[in-house]
Amino acid sequence: MITKLKELAEKAKNSGKKTRIAVAVAEDNNTINAILNAVQEGFIVPYLIGNAIKIRELIPSDIALNRLEIINITEPAKAVKEAVRMVRNNEADVLMKGLVGTDTFLKAVLDKEQGLLPPKAVMSYTCALEIPKYRKLLFVSDTAVLINPDLDQKIAMINYSVAMARRFGIEKPKVALISATEKVMPSMQETLDYALLCKMAERGQIKNCLVDGPMDIFLACDPESLAIKGIQSPLAGDADILIFPNLESANSFYKGLMLFGEGELAGLICGTTKPVIVMSRSESEKSKYYCIALSCLMAEEK
């Protein structure tokens, strides 16, 4: 079982495989450093697409440029389209966002004719968070894509998160459906959805996991809180996965942990035909490196 993000990177390093990554608008310092780290560890082959002059300026002089393929496309939208094309045509295994706006990047991913999302598929985002004060990795969804997910989208969020957790070696992940309350309340739509999701899991319509909710973060992750409130849960305050009701809450939760809780993450777009790395331009080099390692792990099953 992978319990630390550094173990994720070690698994990628020891796999003996080289995953091909197309980086769209690669002229970003943290992205370049993360890519170079993975190249030096020997588990990726990168295609750096963007302004070749700016990209070369970011590469240290002791790095042999012949180990890197740089594709000069100075217009960001065209650079993204080329990266998507390469992945779609199996010239690369993973798509990665560089110094380009998320809207521009996802527009190409979602293109109905030339993108990477199959018809009727749900696109979502799951990340694995490493938090110094939590005893294990915590998978969180959706921090980046779905603004107000409906019931079907929440089902997809759970399934994608469970699939990722199982790749980390967690055979039956514990899924907590997060709200501000543990009560099902008609005035709070997510609690009604959660009640349905729990019943679906109970009847085997959602597989390979334990599901409970609604519940707050304390009940999901702290066994003592369950005892204090006198609540019983099959998760026993030991959640592996947190499903949030909307993007606002999930995004604020993870960014707060990154800024104030010294967290690091590895995350991916889910639902696409190939792994897609989308990170904020302000994310750390280390987190971008871990995302690259995660994409290698998930690319194995595509």
Q: CATH number for the domain including 102?
A: 3.40.50.10950
How many other CB atoms sit within 10 Å of the CB of residue 172? 13
- Average pLDDT estimate for 218-244: 95
199/283 same-domain check: no
Residues 6 or more apart from 131 whose CB is under 8 A from it?
138, 257, 261, 262, 263
- What's the pLDDT score for residue 16? 87
159/280 same-domain check: no
Location of structure tokens 């003996």:
16
27/66 same-domain check: yes
pLDDT value at 271 more than 70: yes
- What 3-state DSSP class applies to 10? helix
- Average pLDDT estimate for 11-23: 93
pTM of full prediction above 0.95: no
- What's the pLDDT score for residue 283? 73
How many domains does the structure of the chain reveal?
A: 2
195/168 same-domain check: yes
| Tens of pLDDT, residues 107-166 | 999 999 999 999 999 999 999 999 998 999 999 999 989 999 999 999 999 999 999 999
213/297 same-domain check: no
pLDDT value at 302 more than 80: no
Which residues is 176 bridged to in the sheet?
212, 242
Helix axes 29-41, 285-299, angle to 10 degrees: 50
- Tokens at residue 200, please? 């679906």
Strand locations in 25-144 (E): 44-50, 69-72, 94-97, 124-130, 138-141
The pairing of beta strand 264-270 with beta strand 124-130: antiparallel
- How much of the chain exceeds pLDDT 90, in percent? 86
- What's the pLDDT score for residue 279? 82
Q: How confident is the model at residue 55 (pLDDT cuts 50, 70, 90)?
A: very high
**Domain around 207:** 126-266
Q: How confident is the model at residue 63 (pLDDT cuts 50, 70, 90)?
A: confident
- In this structure, what CATH number is given to the domain that contains residue 230? 3.40.718.10
Rounded to an integer, what distance in angstroms lies between the CA atom of residue 40 and that of residue 38? 5
Which residues is 265 bridged to in the sheet?
129
Which letter does DSSP use for residue 242 in this model?
E
34: Cα separation from own chain's centroid: 16
User: Which conformational region is residue 82 in: left (phi greater than 0), alpha (psi within -120 to 50 degrees), or beta?
Assistant: alpha
- How much of the chain exceeds pLDDT 70, in percent? 98
154/200 same-domain check: yes
Which residues is 97 bridged to in the sheet?
24
- Tokens at residue 13, please? 């390093």
Mean predicted lDDT score pLDDT of the chain: 93
111/175 same-domain check: no
111: Cα separation from own chain's centroid: 21
94/8 same-domain check: yes
- What's the pLDDT score for residue 37? 93
236/285 same-domain check: no
What single letter denotes the amino acid at residue 91? E
- What's the pLDDT score for residue 65? 66
Which residues is 22 bridged to in the sheet?
47, 95
77/187 same-domain check: no
61/26 same-domain check: yes
Rounded to an integer, what distance in angstroms lies between the CA atom of residue 29 and that of residue 142? 26
Q: Is the peptide bond before 275 cis (omega within 30 degrees of 0)?
A: no
251/281 same-domain check: no
